[in-house]
Amino acid sequence: AELTLYWRALRPVERDYVVFAHVINPATWTIYAGSDAQPVGWTRPTSTWEPGELIADTHTLIVDPETPPAIYELEIGLYLQEPAGFPRLRIVNADGGMSNDFAYLTRVRVLPNSAAAIP
């Protein structure tokens, strides 16, 4: 499936973040589909964004065929690639307080893989 995210910087971004989009089991944090890339297929690093510019950023999510049928969550966020780890960007609430380091978008239903059931 394809997921297009739309980003708009409010002010210049000094660092280059990687966007993640993951289909996860929230109980175990197991990732069953994911995309990790700088925006627009590594062609629009966040440090090149102009304030107010709209960036359309498409990610392809392929669910592992061995994924158990269930309802999962689609979460997105941004992180830095650093030698010491991958710190995620925190979300700022409307009141200025810090929130999670990801945004929940929706639930995703994974159906049984009918091809796998054929002997």
Q: Which helix (H) or strand (E) holds 32?
A: strand 30-37
CA distance 43 to 24: 26
Tokens 């973040």, residue located: 17
pTM of the model: 0.87
Q: What is the CATH number of the domain that holds 12?
A: 2.60.40
Which residue blocks in 1-119 are alpha helix, DSSP H? Answer: 39-42
pLDDT digits (tens, 9 = 90+) for 10-58: 999 999 999 999 999 999 999 999 999 999 999 999 999 999 999 999 9
CA distance 22 to 73: 8
- Based on the structure, what is the number of domains in the chain? 1
Which residues span the domain enclosing 13? 2-117
On average, the pLDDT of the chain sits at: 91
CA distance 62 to 6: 20
